A and B are shown apart, each in its own frame.
Chain A
């Protein structure tokens, strides 16, 4: 039986002046599904994430969360409705401690805890991403992967209906990459609905149920990772005509 649709992007376009960054894009994400948005650099993947999370407003088209249109609402509303994200360039809150960074995700949004409850809840999220120690450390002292973990824990702390990961694995060294892939896989196994933008092909193959491939803002393929990555059009977009 097919799962319910959680997120639906319907004919969405985004224009920056003369540049059409996203061109009439449509796709749907079902519950418990992990969908990868892939494509060459500059194909509009991060713009799609920004449109879903409300950082940008579409020029055209609608985005639905369940049956509600979210694309005409501000980011804070979308967060409260149950969309959480990490950023391509990691965004932690440097003057807050590690645990406060995570608490930030659980106080104002989809989850609204306060007092002792929010601290305990944040600590569990930190353990969840493998950061049980150093919870009171200043965030500025963290290594890169730990910053990414804190950001992920903050996103998880809102208990989102849908989690957006924008190149969460980028910039990790090979050892960290294995840890990172295992971590996202464990999220997948506990039934999280995830949309991820990623360049790491191993990660896409092992994590995604489905891929949406973009080139110059438009969708050029959609399907299982193996099928889409073998697609002639996709190979041409990534590698040029002679390889197709």
Chain B
């Protein structure tokens, strides 16, 4: 590790330690807001690990998330919660692998539609199974797990996302993805297995989304397909990641914090217009700041640097 990397690493550890103290100072509303921020940080950052370099827009987040929540609700009475967390991650990863093998050879547009349909497909299957086999649509998840614990779990998962993202960026896999993002023909001609590289990252994002769903399940208490497989979740993750910027590991965080707070306000004031506003936000971000806030800031710095040099 270089000196700069060591400094960054130390700063990250300190930041996480400070954030971990939050539940001792604040409870109630602030903590619930922090849970939202932590949850979307994990989802948007792991989403960007895959979508940033490959430019594939995945709308499958809700599929993995819902699957994770359902793993917990199905097994909570018989299997220890910690094991369920692991199983939820595996479920997310396996489904991501299956979907990836089938669709990552397709071009971008088909992939977007397929992933959007996937969440709906799984939701319909779960609904059908529950209606026909178990008799009731919803399921209860009754545990002793408090909001504080959920927050700490998410914080730990966020740390894991950043660690994995950092390791991937330093690896051959990370380098391969940057080349793929530039030119897939060149990637193939220097010996890169593009499909395998993309699949690896898609599986990573599936594992994290599955685990987030499992962590959030006790918070819902009552779980229903329409709650955990909601397409709104997938869209919010995409919007937040794009708002922040996907070409830096910490980029999505810059989008997650303001958007989660803003959304909290909007959902309280205009509960019936959220989908419309989500669509407008999506258009504004894609047209006005395609590289995200971080991209804008970096471009401004670069311009300023050039001005100083020539000025």
Contact = CB atoms under 8 A, between A and B. Distances in A.
Given A91-B185, A107-B172, A114-B172, A158 B190 contact: yes
Contact of B179 (A54, A93, A114): A93
A96 interface: yes
Interface in B163-180: 172, 175-176, 178-179
A93 B192 contact: no
B86 interface: no
A199 to B, nearest CB: 23
B183 interface: yes
A84 B188 CA distance: 11
Nearest to A81: B191
Contacts of B193: 76
Contacts of B186: 91, 93, 104
A108 B183 contact: no
Contact of A55 (B176, B185, B190): B185
Contacts of B307: none
Nearest to A151: B186
Contacts of B3: none
A95 B179 CA distance: 9
- Interface residues of B: mostly helix, strand, loop or mixed? helix
Nearest to B194: A76
A46 interface: no
Contact of A85 (B178, B189, B194): B189
Contact of A95 (B178, B185, B188, B194): B178
User: Which of A94, A95, A110 is most buried by chain B, counting CB atoms within 10 A of its CB?
Assistant: A95
A232 B180 CA distance: 47
Nearest to B191: A109
Given A91-B183, A95-B181, A95-B182, A54 B172 contact: no
B190 A79 contact: yes
Nearest to A154: B190
A75 B178 contact: no
A94 B172 contact: no
Interface residues of A, number: 27
A76 B185 contact: no
A89 to B, nearest CB: 11
Q: Which of B179, B182, B186, B189 has most chain A Cβ within 10 Å?
A: B189
Interface in B192-206: 192-194
A185 interface: no
Contact of A53 (B175, B189, B194): B189
Contacts of B191: 76, 79-80, 108-110, 158
A93 B179 CA distance: 7
A108 B179 CA distance: 11
A104 B186 CA distance: 9
A84 B191 CA distance: 10
Given A94-B182, A96-B178, A104 B188 contact: no
B40 to A, nearest CB: 27
Contacts of A84: 189
Nearest to B196: A76
Interface in B134-188: 172, 175-176, 178-179, 181-183, 185-186, 188
Nearest to B247: A95
9 contacts: A55-B185, A75-B185, A75-B189, A79-B191, A87-B185, A95-B178, A96-B178, A107-B172, A154-B190
Given A95-B178, A114-B172, 9 more contacts: A55-B185, A74-B188, A79-B188, A84-B189, A91-B186, A94-B182, A95-B182, A154-B190, A158-B190
Q: Which 7 residue pairs of A and B lie closest in terms of their CB atoms, listed nearest first? A: A109-B191, A93-B182, A108-B191, A75-B188, A79-B191, A80-B191, A108-B192
